Chains A and B, each alone.
Chain A
Amino acid sequence: MPAASTELYVALAAILFTLGGIGVLVRRSPLSILMSVEIMWNAANLLFITFARQWGNMDGHVMAFLVITVAAAEVAIGLAIIVLLFRKKEHVDVDDVTELKN
């Protein structure tokens, strides 16, 4: 079975990244936004792995693990923020949170 070409993986990563971006922009639930951000992380990870395979070295894999670790930490913080928001506002909608204005 011929291996899929690198271009296809890059295209898939681009699609995933765009989908994630759109999700960040259009969703109002912070949970959905966090999940969209995860999709974007994974698009980036996919690129790392793709290029690692392309060049046949392990640097990309290392970076992918690093990203997964950082993403986990980020999600932990993000969820904590969401919980605090929920406590304060009774419901969660990112457009209700405009405190950054001031």
Chain B
Amino acid sequence: MGSAWMLPAIIAIPLLSAAVVGLFRNSWSKTTISWVASGSVGISFAMVLALFYNFTQTHEAITAPLTTWGPMLNFGLLADALSLWWMLVVTGCGFLIHVYSTGYMRDDESFGRFMAKMNFFIFAMSLLVLSDNFAGLVMGWANVGLASYLLIGFYIKKPAAMSAAIKAFVMNSLGEVGLVAGVAYIYKTFGTLSYHEVFKAIGEGKGLAALNLIGILLLIGAIAKSAQLPLHTWLPYAMEGPTPVSALIHAATMVTAGVYLVSRAYPIYHNAETAAMFVAWIGALGALFGAVVAAGQNDIKRVLAFSTLSQIGYMFLGNGLGAYTAADFHFLTHAFFKAALFLCAGIVVHHYNGDQDIRKMGGLWKEDKFAVWTFGIGALALIGIFPFAGFFSKDEILAAALNSQQYALFAIAMLAAGMTAFYNVRLFSLVFLGTPHMAHAKDLKKAHRPVAVAAAHGHDAQGHDAHGHDAHGHAHATPAAMTWSVGILAVLSVVGGLIAYPGWQVGFLKSSFELLGELEHEGINWAVAGSAMGLALIFGGISYYLYGPNGVRRDAERNLAAKPGILVNMFYFDAIYDALIVNPVLAVGDFCANIGDAKLIDGAVDGLGKLSAGIGSGLRALNSGYVRKYALTVFAGVAIMLVYFIFMQV
């Protein structure tokens, strides 16, 4: 128990670094900023590793009480199996992506601001995960939302990024209403916010009647944060942020906070069948929806965004079915391969001067072998091909659906697995295979270098993801910081799933799920996994037939003049929300501004002004300066008083 001091340190170091880097962002050199910002996350990661190793030896949760807030709450930090599992990804992936950013964002003029915000995100996410009570979770939750807002809107001169940031913040605030209401209801029911005490009370059978409502309220928060149906619309627009942000926040960690919430609050969902079924169905529908929409998107990062939506759907499905360890396992593998895919997408986009439209790509195979390999590994892991990481974790979720006899959910999840292969093969074919598109053929020939900062001749003042504007135009390879971090993530995407062979993850995580009884790893369900992989191969084959180098639909797909269909428009969710909610609210706002404020309130204020001005100008006529008039006034007043006293007084 001597290592409890590490818990506050894990949180405090990135926060301190964020403050210091933010303060000295203009005076320190970029190298110093890189070392401090990445180093602080690295230190946190090292401490998490130490705690993690410690935990595998002792299997004892560590708590660090910090402060007491009146009678309501003892605020502290908790490192048990679940939070360590998550912290491993938050700080581990976070560290790799920080390192990647030091290469990727180095030529941005606001490099220091970027790194400070990234550090702040690590702090907020660590607080969310390590808190030992619901209040701390809500604080972390709100702060990751803030970090997400700041980082989506990092390119402050780009209007699309600003509106995307606002959109993300508003959607998440909607969810936070649900989350806070749920937490308040927990306090009302149990009289405490501490995980330990709430779950102990549930274990003793108290407050079971309220759990369905609590579960659904918490789920609203989880849906918004994890971009699940129907509050998912902010995620594709969040891709306006720099690519490392998409990788860290909108793929690996923050959007999975909803999964963490459900896993952490498992006693609630375990005893609330309706709420759990909600979780499962939202997840399954999200998995299919994301996979289908991803197949129709033309922006490389949006394809990956919808893929994230789809994969988090799988995690929700696992959580809803009570397969919490499967969901957390999928979270881990997903963090590896999706971060690898996003970071690799960053490299790809560089080849096209920051243009993210996959219709204009193609033939990158010849130009950049490293990107092909890492992207390919990420895609295979995402599809769930043996023996890549996604194969094992997705299998567990599918098997859980089958074992709990939820055949409808199982069918949807299988179909989604097929569609996953479909959109991945499409994406890979359009980007890497075949011939370059007319629009960029010239660019690629010019930039014939290992991995180049192609942005050298494509100056984009709006600050797309184009990183280097190399003034001299000489080629230089992708910085080692970028290749190393992508490489490590790719390796993890290959081997990360193998821990499922001995079922190691279940053995590790089970101490966090005591109320479920003694969890046993059920082994790999080869029938389910095999048929899912077979389905994936069929769908992938169809996709290759359609979009491969000689695919029948390839040219039609790459036609830039094609009218955007229902998939490109993401099933018109945005249009529907605009029509149903946004426009009426804007109309109310316009009414309040133009009629209510301009006419009513301003009218009342101006009217009062005009009234007193009128009275004043009327009275001014009396102030003539003619003494005789004043005298007359006095006489008139006296006369009136006389009349009053003589005739009115009795």
Contacts and interface: CB of A to CB of B under 8 A. Distances in A.
Contact of A24 (B623, B625, B626, B631): B631
A101 B628 contact: no
A89 B646 CA distance: 44
Contacts of A1: none
A101 B632 contact: no
Size category, B interface: 10 to 19
A102 B628 contact: no
Interface in B605-650: 623-628, 630-632, 635
A100 B628 contact: no
B620 to A, nearest CB: 9
Interface in B579-627: 623-627
B624 A98 contact: yes
B631 A25 contact: yes
B631 A98 contact: no
Contact of A100 (B627, B632, B635): B627
B624 A101 contact: yes
Contact of B635 (A21, A98, A102): A21
Contacts of A94: 626-628
A95 B631 contact: no
Most chain B CB inside 10 Å of its own CB: which residue of A28, A99, A100: A100
A97 interface: yes
Contacts of B627: 94, 97, 100
A101 B625 contact: yes
B630 A24 contact: no
Nearest to B620: A101
Interface string A74-102: 00000000000000000000110111111
A98 B625 CA distance: 4
A100 B631 contact: no
A25 B625 contact: no
A95 B623 contact: no
A98 B626 CA distance: 5
Contacts, number: 29
Contacts of A99: 625
A97 B627 CA distance: 8
B41 to A, nearest CB: 75
Nearest to B638: A21
Interface in A26-47: 26, 28
Contacts of B630: 100
A95 B623 CA distance: 13
A85 B632 CA distance: 22
Contacts of B626: 94-95, 98
Nearest to A94: B627
Interface string A40-75: 000000000000000000000000000000000000
A97 B632 CA distance: 16
Contacts of A24: 628, 631, 635
Contacts of A28: 628
B638 to A, nearest CB: 9
B622 to A, nearest CB: 10
Nearest to A37: B631
B637 to A, nearest CB: 12
A25 B635 contact: yes
Interface string B51-92: 000000000000000000000000000000000000000000
Q: Which has the most chain A C-beta neighbours within 10 Å: B623, B624, B627, B630?
A: B627
Nearest to A101: B625
A97 to B, nearest CB: 7
A4 B628 CA distance: 36
Nearest to A28: B628
B196 to A, nearest CB: 81
Contacts of B632: 25
Contacts of B624: 98, 101
Given A25-B628, A94-B628, A95-B628, A101 B623 contact: yes
B319 to A, nearest CB: 83
A65 B632 CA distance: 28
A26 B627 CA distance: 11
Contacts of A97: 625, 627
B631 to A, nearest CB: 5
B632 to A, nearest CB: 6
A70 B626 CA distance: 25
A83 to B, nearest CB: 17
A21 B638 CA distance: 11
A101 B627 CA distance: 10
A21 B59 CA distance: 110
A99 B635 CA distance: 21
Nearest to A22: B635
B448 to A, nearest CB: 88
Contacts of B631: 24-25
A24 B630 CA distance: 11
Task: Across the A-B interface, give the 5 residue pairs with the lowest CB-CB distance, nearest first.
Answer: A101-B625, A98-B625, A100-B625, A94-B627, A24-B631
27 contacts: A21-B635, A24-B628, A24-B631, A24-B635, A25-B628, A25-B631, A25-B632, A25-B635, A26-B628, A28-B628, A94-B626, A94-B627, A94-B628, A95-B626, A95-B628, A97-B625, A97-B627, A98-B624, A98-B625, A98-B626, A100-B623, A100-B625, A100-B627, A100-B630, A101-B623, A101-B625, A102-B625
